[in-house]
Amino acid sequence: MRGLGYEFVHLEWVPRSGLMRIYIDKPGGVSVDDCARVSEHLGRAMTVEGLDYDRLEVSSPGLDRPLAREDDFKRFCGHKARVALRVPVNGRRNITGIIRETRAGSVAMATGGDSVVVVDLSNVEKARLVPES
């Protein structure tokens, strides 16, 4: 999808219903026209490849966008995120704070006051942006 100017964010596959849901993003956000363009392109490509699905949905990841790769954390430096850890850090499995810095496989998050928690990205089970009003 990079060739079309979009970033692949996430894939959800629900075999029971045959639903394939694909989340895309791009700087400035994703419009309905963007979703239609990617859906048409992917539909043709999957037909050629013989991939079996009943329904294809293409969507933006929303305001609570998942963060999966180091590049995601770099892109959203300065934004608030909620991170669930596999192994607790400083006695905490869930950390919410502002992404301050990402480097060498870790992310530093400001969690209030002068408190900064550094998390190894390999310890992240799930991470999402926290929508700010």
Domain borders along the chain are: 2-59, 70-129
**Which pLDDT value is given to residue 35?**
94
Task: Name the maximum alpha-carbon separation found in the chain.
Answer: 55
CATH number for 70-129: choose from 2.30.30.100, 1.20.1560.10, 3.40.50.720, 2.40.128.50.
2.30.30.100
Q: 20 Cβ partners below 8 Å, 6+ apart?
A: 11, 12, 13, 14, 53, 55, 56, 57
**Which pLDDT value is given to residue 1?**
63
| pTM, entire model | 0.79
- What is the H or E stretch that residue 73 is in? helix 70-75
CA distance 127 to 18: 27
Structure tokens at 60: 């933006």
Per-run averaged pLDDT (10 residues), the chain, 133 residues = 82 88 91 94 89 89 91 94 94 95 94 90 96 81
